[in-house]
Homo-oligomer: A and B are copies of this chain.
Amino acid sequence: MSLQTRCELALPHWLESFVADWPEPLQTAEQRMRLAIALSAENVRHSTGGPFGAIVVEEDSSRLIAVGVNLVTTAELSIAHAEMVAISLAQSAAGNWNLGHATATQLVTSCEPCAMCFGAVPWSGVSSLIWGANREDAEAVGFDEGDKPANWVQSLENRGIRTQADVLREEAAAVLQKYAKKEGAIYHPGAGIDG
């Protein structure tokens, strides 16, 4: 038997220079979200995955630690949501699974986290989470957000993770709508589409 012993999360090739050329600072929630949304839009434009982008920044210094985009259909990994990619690359960059090990960090995602990404947030060590589009926006174009606890926001807050919803929501939702019009794959088993 030959056992699969490794797999990789790797950002698409367009991404590094796109981020290097990003002109804006990342000081405010809106500035941070603008980059996350831009990543989601570029990911659609380059057909490198679903319409979702995320970044991890240091809360105080606004230093960018890592970015992520949805890679499900290109990496052939169902866990490769933008948030999971950003969290994992941030931890790899830091050499530490706990993104709160040195200083407070924030996860910024272009869309409300699904059930998996919601569950991943407390394990990551981030201190705060902000999102753009929400569940309704994602579901309106056919995505499945999964089953979260009804009080999922309070659950994060109870764990000391601050949250902020609806940051540039319309701009973020517009990328989802554009993706749906492009007939991008809605890649979950329930959708009956084999990615």
Would you list which residues of chain A between 49 and 96 have a CB under 8 Å from chain B? 64, 66-67, 72-73, 75-80, 84, 87-96
| B116–A123 CB distance below 8 A | yes
For A78, give its contact among B75, B125, B147, B155 (CB under 8 Å): B125
Is the C-beta of A4 less than 8 angstroms from some C-beta in chain B? yes
Whether, in the assembled complex, A141 has its beta carbon less than 8 Å from a beta carbon of chain B, the answer is no
Cα of A3 to Cα of B146 in the assembled complex, Å: 31
Knowing A77-B92, A78-B120, A88-B79, say if A5 contacts B16 (CB, 8 Å): yes
Binds B, one of A30-38, A163-171, A176-184, A186-194: A186-194
Per-position 1/0 for A1-36, Cβ under 8 A of B: 101111111110001100110000000000000000
A189 & B92 in contact (Cβ 8 Å cutoff)? no
Measured between alpha carbons, how far is A104 from B8 in the docked complex, in Å?
Answer: 25
| Chain A interface, number of residues (Cβ within 8 angstroms) | 67
Residues of B near A89 (CB, < 8 A) are 4-7
A8–B11 contact, CB under 8 A? no
Contacting residue for A119 out of B3, B118, B187, B194, CB 8 A:
B118
Interface residue from B6, B11, B84, B147 paired with A5 (Cβ < 8 Å): B11
Report the minimum CB–CB distance from A117 to chain B (whole Å). 7
A109 at the interface (CB under 8 A from B): no
Minimum-distance CB pairs A-B, first 10: A116-B119, A115-B119, A4-B93, A7-B92, A6-B10, A78-B123, A147-B155, A125-B189, A4-B89, A116-B120
